Amino acid sequence: MAELVLDSLEIKGFRAFDQLTVERLGRVNLIVGKNNVGKTALLEAVRMYARQDLLERITDAAHLRATEAAEETTEGGPVWGNLTDAELRTQYETFRHLFHGHPSARDLPVEFKIGPMGQSEGVLCVGFAEKKSGKVGAVGPHFRIQIGGEREASEKKRYYYLKQGANGAPSDSSPALFVPHDGLGEQEARRMWNDVFLEGKKEVVVEALRTVEPNVQDVDWVSAPQMRLSFHGAEALADLSETGKRLPFVEVESQKRPLPLESMGEGMSRLLSIGIALANAEDGLLLVDEIENGLHYSTQPDLWRLIFETAARLNVQVFAATHSMDCIRAFQHAADEHPNEGMLVSLRRKREAKEEIVAVLADEADLETVVSTGIEVR
């Protein structure tokens, strides 16, 4: 088995997690648990760890007000400055949701860490603090983005900066693709489809669609109104009201003309999102929230088989969340066929400490017992 992006996971101080440890991870991981135990937060943590560019969006989200100081740099990266104490508190409010317990500006400094268990290198650390004196120093062995401040007593300025060390999280070349509970947006799906087509991975998407409609032969996008598109010799005229809008059409064996995908039901749209993201996630991560949405339970075993097989072939590590027992059963059947590849991660609150969330693991050897005995997993 090729090396995984994460063979274990430790999260400290991020969203729902004061401290969460997941001692083992597989190639395909299903995250389960009751409402409000952090299933989506775990996906977000993994995505943030793997996608360095997401860290830049943290500062974008903060709407930091750039001044002349924005062009200055420190040893660690760009600087934003000229924020008053009141502005500091205001900007911090946009960061609060990232930190466990939503600490106020009076509680600074705060930080969270995400990475493999028991390692000092390759750990993502995000902090918000005020640096009252001295210069921005080296980060050390961690990959690190630190949002902080440096006081100039005479002018009462705050300087905000990003910095990262030489050793760190996976490179930007490792994709981390996220499919939310309602699927990919139209623009993102079209952009990702271009990559699928150019890299010759269309069959992954076709196979995903076949889990609901076995007679699917092909899929493609119409890119202009009144455009005649050919699928293996069959032609269809797309009458689109919005100039330049592209929509997916599907060729089905029993139909003379390709059908608009949106006419084939919610399940097909869901599978399109998953298939496109899976095909694009080669040598990286695929993250899917509420993977069962829109899918009849009878189609889910075939979907999981496709995910296991494609993930192994393209070297993708998969993290998916669900609250459906049918989805867990389907996952269990596929995991049985792929030994040492699947892991169920059940998030639970401790009975004696409800604020503390722990992870209980089940591999394919344990999954049959979990499913047959109805042990609580949600």
CATH number (domain holding residue 319):
3.40.50.300
Residue 237 placed within a domain: no
- In the chain, DSSP assigns E strands to 9-14, 17-22, 28-33, 79-80, 110-115, 124-128, 143-147, 160-161, 176-179, 216-222, 227-231, 234-238, 247-252, 259-260, 285-288, 317-321, 342-349, 357-363
Residue 209 confidence (pLDDT): 97
Residue 226 placed within a domain: no
Residue 80 placed within a domain: yes
Same domain, yes or no, for 277 and 187?
A: yes
Residue 82 confidence (pLDDT): 45
Residue 190 placed within a domain: yes
Same domain, yes or no, for 324 and 363?
A: yes
Residue 63 confidence (pLDDT): 39
Task: Kindly state the DSSP code that residue 272 receives in the 8-state scheme.
Answer: H
Residue 50 confidence (pLDDT): 84
Same domain, yes or no, for 355 and 327?
A: yes
Same domain, yes or no, for 185 and 121?
A: no
Residue 189 confidence (pLDDT): 93
Same domain, yes or no, for 95 and 178?
A: no
Whole-Å CA distances, 72 to 1, 143, 150, 152:
46, 22, 13, 15
Residue 271 placed within a domain: yes
Q: Collect the ranges in the chain with pLDDT lower than 70.
A: 1, 52-92, 129-173, 223-244, 374-378
Residue 37 placed within a domain: yes
Same domain, yes or no, for 31 and 117?
A: no
Cis previous bond, 109, omega within 30: yes
Same domain, yes or no, for 100 and 179?
A: no
Total domains in the fold of the chain? 2
* pTM metric for this prediction: 0.81
Same domain, yes or no, for 39 and 63?
A: no
Residue 205 confidence (pLDDT): 97
Same domain, yes or no, for 180 and 281?
A: yes
Residue 350 confidence (pLDDT): 86
Residue 244 confidence (pLDDT): 57
Residue 108 placed within a domain: yes
Domain interval for residue 73? 54-161
Same domain, yes or no, for 147 and 293?
A: no
Same domain, yes or no, for 83 and 37?
A: no
Residue 221 placed within a domain: no
User: Considering 161, 180, 200, which residue would you say is the last residue of a domain?
Assistant: 161
Residue 161 confidence (pLDDT): 40
Same domain, yes or no, for 122 and 270?
A: no
